[in-house]
């Protein structure tokens, strides 16, 4: 651990020196490659340090990203971090692909109904709690204060639908890191994935209502088409990807990690531009492969594990570097209140509605549902773009919440897995 | 989206170019040769670039700058890692003299006559024109040893002869990099002293990153972690150079050389691991180089025959001179100059680095001439090398004694 810490400090010193040397140049060149290299190396060694002090590696990646990023020490320019968006999409796709390979038909048959019921309960209770709190805070929140009651109700519903979301990315990364296996882990993973599907539907409905309340008119057919395209279109495209992967794996059989990285990159970028959910596309592809050919599903799992470490370290360190600490300062109190309320709602609904036959679900499941990351970021940015009048302020509030959730979420998720007794290894090869 | 499509097209082309059918010289000789050298990607880039089909705009190319820097950094690190101080110390003086003679002759034959047209047609200060002419000369001095390597691997050329030619072409790289240093010193800043300072900054940065990389790698046993550290190290050195607007290529070379010097046993493993990424990153780099070509510069087309002709003469004369100097030390084939016609990827790296750091019409013209020249030389190189093989089979090997530490 000492060695990793020393290496991390040395890296930070070198980064500081590069930042200092840049002052002598009148105009800087591109900073994206520098950001990629620095965040990858810093993330890697910060992960080792975090592991040494009993935290998830992922927390190390995030914290070091925050530290050297543009909002704290400023050693990595903001433009460089912004240029890494492509990497983020790629990592989400890869993680979702691995998650998909875990979704065996047998598992869905076994726990599908229970997971869906609990998910609806948890999401419903959390949504109502956040929705109520936001509406109650209307006079205090600058973006809600000037709105009429119907408008405030619609915007509260829109924000609440985003705040409900979980983080499959973090959950799957922690599961990979700890090599957790068992019924609790399966339940948790299925719940965060289905939760995000519910959030996507809820968000589309809330966005339609908000548009209507601001005079855009309620276009039910358009709303259905939007939701349908995002959900079913993603599954269909995922199916096509699965076929392409299977053909490649059976015919070409070479350089599988490289091929998967390329395909996930294409699905992330292409999916985002076609208004599909990159997460769902890869998830569907992974699930289809695992159910059509179990052996190939295993191969994908191992291939991504081999190529995953640099991508995960870079993804989470870049996510950390992108966390706007100043947002936490400006809307901190409101954000922290909502964070606490969300945690209480998740805790309460898990204690009340989780299946009784496994006591671990009632006790520890809530801890695995606290994280928020990629999907929440994406929806917050979408609000900002779609509703330019109040969207940017909503984005600041949600990003402040994500910052808090990113810092405590991974620790809680690992604790949940630890307490469930399903962690098998603390140092899986190539794990996040 | 366009960038994404292009990257996907490159990926598809990579698969195609690594296909055994395409690489079979018996079926499509010219295509196989261009695919093997990677210059197929150069043509592909030029066709898709903003000056031809416009599938890529200049804005797209600016957005792809980080990849260009990464490719240059990777090329530099690989060159640096191949510098083995022990082997270089063992080489006899005649080998260096021969390398300098053939590279220097080609350099002078191209740089001196072409300095005039550059000076008078562009209306730029003499210093800039001299730097540009020097860079043309430097790229002309570079040769690729891949035909020689292919020759002895396929048994068409005696192994010692093939290695001797390959060794001479490897030593050319030092000449090319030396001239790049001078060209950047003259062109990359307001005055040569400041330019030299920037070159020194690039080298210092590379050395610091090389030492850091050696330290970071120390004690890492997991292959995945080692790979992550290496990739991060290459990205760090090329990214820092691109950010500070100094040469990513020179910083990469300094990084690789420092790593080779202080990295002890881990160096071999590092070179092997990075080697897996060498070809994909090289192909991407070559594609991006092609996309930067200005195909409509009439003056560049006018300069091209002169450049090709002068380089050919320079190589033939330089080859003869090198043979005279090192004929007793190395097993050099007759008509050595013909074996040196093909141009290496480093020539492309030099001119794209110059274009990035000293942007302007002059560097663009130098770039266009060298890129088109590299393509033509690659096609001519195969035929020229056949002449060498024919003359080698006619004339029995001289059977010269092998120098201590020689190429075999």
Which residue is associated with the tokens 């040395």? A10
Q: Which two tokens stand for residue A100?
A: 């998909």
Which residue is associated with the tokens 């985003």? A162
* pLDDT reported for residue B19: 64
Chain A residues near residue B73 by CB distance under 8 angstroms = 33
Which band of pLDDT confidence, cut at 50, 70 and 90, is reported for residue A26?
low
Q: Is A46 on the interface with B (CB under 8 A)?
A: no
Write out pLDDT tens, residues A173-197: 888 788 888 889 988 988 988 888 8
Chain B residues near residue A29 by CB distance under 8 angstroms = 65, 69, 242-245
Chain A residues near residue B61 by CB distance under 8 angstroms = none
* pLDDT reported for residue B14: 66
Which residue is associated with the tokens 């260096």? B96
Given a contact cutoff of 8 angstroms between Cβ atoms, the answer to whether A383 and A395 are in contact is yes
- Top residue of A4, A32, A33, A35 to mutate, by most chain B CBs within 10 Å, is A33
- Cβ-based neighbours of A304, under 8 Å, separated by 6 or more: A94, A97, A98, A257, A260
- Cβ-based neighbours of A333, under 8 Å, separated by 6 or more: none
Mean pLDDT of chain A: 84
Q: Is B177 on the interface with A (CB under 8 A)?
A: no
Do the chains contact at B245 and A28, CB–CB below 8 Å? yes
Which among A11, A30, A33 has CB closest to B235? A33
Q: Does A301 score more than 90 pLDDT?
A: no
| Average pLDDT per 10 consecutive residues for chain B, totaling 408 residues | 65 66 68 76 87 85 89 93 82 88 90 84 75 87 82 79 84 82 78 86 93 89 87 94 92 93 81 84 89 88 92 92 86 85 88 89 90 90 81 57 36
Chain A residues near residue B9 by CB distance under 8 angstroms = none
Q: Does A342 score more than 90 pLDDT?
A: yes
Q: Is A9 on the interface with B (CB under 8 A)?
A: no
- Distance from B54 to chain A by nearest Cα, in Å? 21
Q: Which of B246, B237, B242, B229 is nearest to B210 (CA)?
A: B237
Write out pLDDT tens, residues A262-284: 788 888 878 777 878 777 888 88
* pLDDT reported for residue A388: 83
- Top residue of B1, B7, B59, B66 to mutate, by most chain A CBs within 10 Å, is B66
Q: Which two tokens stand for residue B287?
A: 């594609």
> Quick check: helix, strand or coil at residue A236?
helix
- Distance from B252 to chain A by nearest Cα, in Å? 13
Q: Is A309 on the interface with B (CB under 8 A)?
A: yes
Given a contact cutoff of 8 angstroms between Cβ atoms, the answer to whether A169 and A95 are in contact is yes
Measured in whole angstroms, the distance separating CA B336 from the mean position of its chain's CA atoms is 20
d(CA B165, CA B342): 12
d(CA A335, CA A371): 15
* pLDDT reported for residue B395: 60
Nearest CA in chain B to A273: B1
Which band of pLDDT confidence, cut at 50, 70 and 90, is reported for residue A246?
confident
Measured in whole angstroms, the distance separating CA A354 from the mean position of its chain's CA atoms is 23
Q: Which two tokens stand for residue A401?
A: 């919440």
**Dmax (CA) of chain A:** 67
Q: Does A432 score more than 50 pLDDT?
A: no
Q: Which two tokens stand for residue A257?
A: 């990690």
Which band of pLDDT confidence, cut at 50, 70 and 90, is reported for residue A431?
very low
Do the chains contact at A45 and B216, CB–CB below 8 Å? yes
Q: Does A382 score more than 60 pLDDT?
A: yes
Do the chains contact at B4 and A270, CB–CB below 8 Å? yes
Question: C-alpha distances in angstroms, B206 versus A43, B79, B209, B214?
Answer: 21, 13, 5, 12
Q: Which of A204, A197, A206, A93 is nearest to A159 (CA)?
A: A206
* pLDDT reported for residue B153: 77
Do the chains contact at A10 and B69, CB–CB below 8 Å? no
Report the complex ipTM: 0.86
Measured in whole angstroms, the distance separating CA A222 from the mean position of its chain's CA atoms is 27
Which residue is associated with the tokens 């320019």? A77
d(CA A301, CA A285): 13
> Quick check: helix, strand or coil at residue B77?
helix
Do the chains contact at A41 and B236, CB–CB below 8 Å? yes
In the DSSP assignment, the letter for residue A233 is: I
Q: Which two tokens stand for residue B248?
A: 């990513």
Total Cβ atoms within 10 A of residue B397: 11
- Top residue of B21, B233, B240, B284 to mutate, by most chain A CBs within 10 Å, is B240
* pLDDT reported for residue B232: 94
What's the mean pLDDT in A217-237?
Answer: 80
What's the mean pLDDT in A98-121?
Answer: 83
Is the model's pTM score more than 0.95? no
Q: Is A26 on the interface with B (CB under 8 A)?
A: no
B385 CB-side CA count, 13 A: 28
Which band of pLDDT confidence, cut at 50, 70 and 90, is reported for residue A430?
very low
DSSP sequence for A107-176: HHHHHHHHHHHHHHHHHHHHHHHHHHHHHHTTTTSTTTTTS-HHHHHHHHHHHHHHHT---HHHHHHHHH
* pLDDT reported for residue B251: 95
Do the chains contact at A32 and B239, CB–CB below 8 Å? yes
Given a contact cutoff of 8 angstroms between Cβ atoms, the answer to whether A242 and A283 are in contact is no
Q: Is A248 on the interface with B (CB under 8 A)?
A: no
Given a contact cutoff of 8 angstroms between Cβ atoms, the answer to whether B98 and B170 are in contact is no
Q: Which two tokens stand for residue A183?
A: 């019924």
């Amino acid at each position: 651990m000492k060695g990793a810490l020393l290496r991390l400090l040395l890296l930070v010193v070198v980064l500081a020196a590069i930042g200092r040397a840049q002052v002598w140049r009148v105009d800087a060149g591109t900073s994206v490659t520098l950001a990629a290299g620095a965040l990858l190396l810093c993330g890697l060694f910060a992960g080792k340090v975090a592991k040494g002090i009993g935290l998830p590696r992922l927390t190390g990646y995030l914290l070091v990203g925050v530290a050297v990023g543009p909002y704290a020490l400023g050693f990595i320019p903001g433009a460089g971090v912004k240029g890494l968006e492509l990497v983020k999409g790629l990592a989400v796709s890869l993680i979702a692909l691995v998650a998909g390979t875990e979704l065996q038909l047998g598992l869905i048959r076994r726990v599908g109904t229970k997971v869906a019921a609990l998910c609806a309960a948890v999401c419903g209770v959390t949504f109502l709690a956040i929705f109520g709190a936001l509406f109650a805070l209307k006079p205090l929140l600058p973006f809600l204060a000037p709105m009429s009651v119907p408008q405030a109700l619609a915007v509260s519903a829109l924000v609440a639908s985003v705040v409900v979301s979980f983080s499959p990315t973090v959950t799957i990364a922690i599961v990979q890191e700890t090599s957790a296996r068992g019924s609790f882990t399966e339940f948790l993973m299925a719940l965060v994935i289905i939760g995000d599907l519910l959030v996507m539907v809820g968000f589309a409905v809330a966005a339609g209502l908000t548009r209507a309340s601001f005079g855009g008119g309620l276009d039910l057919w358009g709303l259905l088409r939007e939701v349908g395209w995002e959900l079913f279109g993603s599954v269909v495209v995922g199916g096509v990807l699965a076929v392409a992967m299977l053909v490649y794996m059976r015919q070409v059989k070479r350089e599988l990690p490289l091929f998967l990285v390329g395909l996930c990159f294409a699905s992330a970028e292409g999916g985002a531009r076609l208004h599909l959910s990159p997460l769902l596309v890869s998830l569907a592809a992974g699930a289809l492969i695992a159910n059509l050919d179990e052996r190939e599903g295993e191969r994908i799992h191992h291939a991504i594990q081999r190529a995953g470490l640099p991508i995960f370290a870079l993804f989470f360190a870049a996510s950390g570097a992108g966390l706007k600490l100043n947002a936490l300062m400006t809307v901190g109190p409101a954000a922290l209140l909502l964070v606490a309320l969300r945690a209480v709602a998740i805790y309460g609904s898990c204690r009340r509605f989780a299946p009784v036959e496994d006591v671990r679900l009632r006790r520890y499941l809530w801890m695995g549902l606290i994280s928020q990351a990629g999907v929440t970021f994406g929806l917050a940015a979408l609000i900002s773009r779609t509703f330019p009048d109040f969207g940017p302020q909503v984005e600041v509030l949600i990003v402040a919440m994500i910052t808090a959730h990113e810092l405590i979420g991974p620790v809680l998720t690992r604790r949940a897995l630890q307490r469930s007794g399903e962690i098998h290894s603390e140092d899986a090869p190539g794990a996040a | 989206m366009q960038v994404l499509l292009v990257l996907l097209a490159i990926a598809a082309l990579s698969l195609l170019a690594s296909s055994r059918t395409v690489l079979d010289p018996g079926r499509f000789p010219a295509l196989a040769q261009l695919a093997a050298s990677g210059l197929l990607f150069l043509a592909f880039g030029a066709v898709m670039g903003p000056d031809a089909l416009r599938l890529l705009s200049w804005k797209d190319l600016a957005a792809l700058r980080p990849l260009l820097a990464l490719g240059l950094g990777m090329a530099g690190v690989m060159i640096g890692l191949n510098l083995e101080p022990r082997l270089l110390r063992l080489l006899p003086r005649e080998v260096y003299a021969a390398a300098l003679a053939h590279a220097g002759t080609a350099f002078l034959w191209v740089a001196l006559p072409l300095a005039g047209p550059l000076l008078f047609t562009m209306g730029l200060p003499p210093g800039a024109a001299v730097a540009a002419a020097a860079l043309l000369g430097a790229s002309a001095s570079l040769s690729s040893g891949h035909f020689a390597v292919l020759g002895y691997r396929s048994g068409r050329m005696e192994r010692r002869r093939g290695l001797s030619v390959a060794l001479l072409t490897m030593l050319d790289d030092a000449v090319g990099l030396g001239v790049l240093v001078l060209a950047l010193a003259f062109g990359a800043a307001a005055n040569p002293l400041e330019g030299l300072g920037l070159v020194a900054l690039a080298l210092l940065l590379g050395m610091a990153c090389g030492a850091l990389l050696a330290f970071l790698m120390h004690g890492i046993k997991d292959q995945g972690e080692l790979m992550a550290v290496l990739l991060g190290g290459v990205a760090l050195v090329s990214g820092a150079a691109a950010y500070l607007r100094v040469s990513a290529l020179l910083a990469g070379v300094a990084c690789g050389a420092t790593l080779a010097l202080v990295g002890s046993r881990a160096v071999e493993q590092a070179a092997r691991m990075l080697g897996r990424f060498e070809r994909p990153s090289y192909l991407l780099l070559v594609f991006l180089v092609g996309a930067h070509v200005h195909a409509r510069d009439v003056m560049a087309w006018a300069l091209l025959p002169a450049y090709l002709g002068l380089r050919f003469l320079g190589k033939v004369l330089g080859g003869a001179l090198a043979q005279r100097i090192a004929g007793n030390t190395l097993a050099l084939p007759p008509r050595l100059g013909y074996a040196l016609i093909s141009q290496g990827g480093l020539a492309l790296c030099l001119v794209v680095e110059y274009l990035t750091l000293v942007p302007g019409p002059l560097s663009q013209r130098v770039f266009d001439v060298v890129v088109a020249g590299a393509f033509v030389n690659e096609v001519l190189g195969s035929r020229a090398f056949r002449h060498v093989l024919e003359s080698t089979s006619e004339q029995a090997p001289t059977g010269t004694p092998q120098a201590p530490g020689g190429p075999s």
